[in-house]
Amino acid sequence: MNADDFGLTGGVNQAILELHKAGVLTSTTLMAKATATSQAIALSHATPSLGVGCHVVLVDGDPVLEPSSIPTLADAQTGRLHPTLGAFLKRLLTDRISSDDIEAEAAAQISQLQSQGVRLTHIDTHKHTHMFPAILRPVLRAARAAGIHTVRNPFEPEWSLRATLGAPWVRRTQVRMLRAFEPAFRRIVEEEGFNTTDGALGVLATGTLDPATVASLLGELPTGCFELVAHPGYNDADLARAHTRLLTAREIEQAALLVVRSFPAIELVSFAALAQTADSAIV
């Protein structure tokens, strides 16, 4: 199981560490420039059993590079990355985002963490932007140059979509439509020589992942290696200031993820061990 947004706030960091100590969370991905990144880095050094990847942020955040050096990614007025996925995709689909800017910012974020002694096991992206081929290629180039060869597969399998309870129909439709990019993702990952999983569980359930949904997903788990994508955290003032849509939902996920302990036959591994896994496993 992998938790996104390590470093977002102290409450998110606390939740991730508690779940790891409870034996249900194996990996997390760390934001290179967020409110509690420094604390998260210190926690990662103190907890070497927790696999840590880089949560590459290309939208809705602050860049590591100077905004003027990545003009197609950063808003000239605010100096921040474009605030919404919709605005980002509109620019991407009209060829107004440079692959060089993507690669440069991704490389800077990875380097920022590695320079502080974080041993990165894998990469993913905030809001799963690397599901789009134009984003995936430069992100993988940046990762490979830094010695990273494992990436999240952000696509949810059909069986998992069916097993997900209570997701709004609009989101269900969006997730199904986005699966059209999966063949290109698999081809590019293979061409670039990266490892990945058989799919991501919980993407559809983002914001609605409760104990019943976790139990339903794990109860249907087939042979293979899948990532259970999680967003745990405590709803505090820092989280409210982060303008994330996942507020109370993070605390619900925090409790829901403990259901994993009811499925002892499922092997829990980190992304560092991805290449060695077999049978039914969760990273």
pLDDT in tens, 107-153: 999 999 999 999 999 999 999 999 999 999 999 999 999 999 999 99
**pLDDT value of residue 251:** 83
> Is the CATH number 3.30.1330.120 carried by domain 2-282?
no
pTM (2 d.p.): 0.93
Low-confidence ranges of the chain (pLDDT < 50): none
Beta bridge partners of 125: 56
Beta bridge partners of 123: 54, 151
Backbone φ and ψ for 83, nearest 5 degrees, come out as -75, -20
**What gap in Å lies between CA 213 and CA 203, rounded to an integer?**
12
**What gap in Å lies between CA 81 and CA 70, rounded to an integer?**
10
**pLDDT value of residue 272:** 86
Q: How far is CA 106 from CA 10, 49, 60, 137, in A?
A: 24, 25, 14, 11
Percent of the chain residues past pLDDT 90, beyond the cut? 82
